[in-house]
A = this chain, B = another copy of it.
């Protein structure tokens, strides 16, 4: 019963096999390996974006911070949700990479930015006033930190506002695959067709060892991003071992299959937690309020999960975050639910 995070899982045999296969002979380094050509081509096809540039890095924080630094100047404001990973969980990486940009929190229920709140914030932003940080970019996250999923319409509603204010849009897609299969749309629909300029496409949480693809739809900025990656120490010499993971993950839609499985496991969990969910489940992550006794019984059974947010807990109940992954089993779910049912 391991629901602490989707990044505590290992990786599917398919991907490990690809690593083993890649470990053959010499390969040119720093992103010039043949497997990377395959990855690039595959992503361009998948995203229907023949001009897109693709760069691999190993963590979501690196992907997000590099993306933001590429589209937002040091004096820019990055508009993001109050709970966004870039705001809460990256120890200031966006500020470091951008050279001191300011993250401006925009509120909204269920972890989604409220369009009116965004419009209002932008209206008051002081564009053209030298004393104020200038509007820099919009950063969305799908799945959100609350485990909800922006619909295409919801994304458009936000990117339309960004566009009207001349702002580029970044999408933190640490769980992009989970959102994609939940929404049932194409990668293009959820990105450039919806006004997204740059995507952090997360592999790590969905079955890879440690690889994220930065996908930038405007190739004019790709060279700058390459320099930023190198300068940040994120350009691998034995790059083939990043390419191998990503290539295997994308091949035969493995990435979507893994996400579908994780989502299905979360749906099974949801079904057993009716009436206890804090937010609308969008993919492979859900938040529930449990009686404290249930929590204690689960702890005793060594179920793994985080209290979230920990400050809302009281004597009678606790809020928990439950994340499923590509390797979660029905048995794990059922064991968990059995305890919930008994308590």
Chain A residues with CB under 8 Å of chain B are: 2, 4-5, 7-11, 16, 19-20, 22-30, 57-66, 73-75, 88-93, 95-103, 123-124, 130-134, 204-205, 209-210, 224, 226-228, 230-238, 241, 304, 311
Question: Given the known A-B contacts A235-B130, A238-B204, are A92 and B88 also in contact in the complex, defined by CB atoms under 8 Å?
Answer: no
Contact of A231 among B63, B92, B209, B238 (CB under 8 A): B92
A91 touches B130 (CB 8 A): yes
A234 touches B237 (CB 8 A): no
Shortest beta-carbon contacts, A-B, top 9 = A62-B233, A95-B100, A7-B237, A61-B233, A10-B23, A2-B26, A91-B230, A91-B231, A99-B99
Across-interface contacts of A235 in B (CB, < 8 A): 59, 61, 130
Contact of A130 among B20, B227, B236 (CB under 8 A): B227
A231 touches B7 (CB 8 A): no
Across-interface contacts of A64 in B (CB, < 8 A): 233
Across-interface contacts of A89 in B (CB, < 8 A): 131-132
Across-interface contacts of A8 in B (CB, < 8 A): 26-29, 237-238
Q: Within the assembled complex, what's the spacing in Å between the Cα atoms of A30 and B5?
A: 12
Contact of A230 among B88, B131, B232 (CB under 8 A): B131
Across-interface contacts of A9 in B (CB, < 8 A): 26, 238
A17 to chain B, nearest CB (A): 9
Q: Within the assembled complex, what's the spacing in Å between the Cα atoms of A95 and B2?
A: 39
Question: Given the known A-B contacts A23-B10, A23-B16, are A91 and B131 also in contact in the complex, defined by CB atoms under 8 Å?
Answer: yes
Q: Within the assembled complex, what's the spacing in Å between the Cα atoms of A179 and B268?
A: 56
B102 touches A92 (CB 8 A): yes
Q: Within the assembled complex, what's the spacing in Å between the Cα atoms of A333 and B248?
A: 35
A113 to chain B, nearest CB (A): 18
Across-interface contacts of A132 in B (CB, < 8 A): 88-89, 91
A117 to chain B, nearest CB (A): 13
Question: Given the known A-B contacts A7-B237, A204-B237, A230-B61, are A92 and B100 also in contact in the complex, defined by CB atoms under 8 Å?
Answer: yes
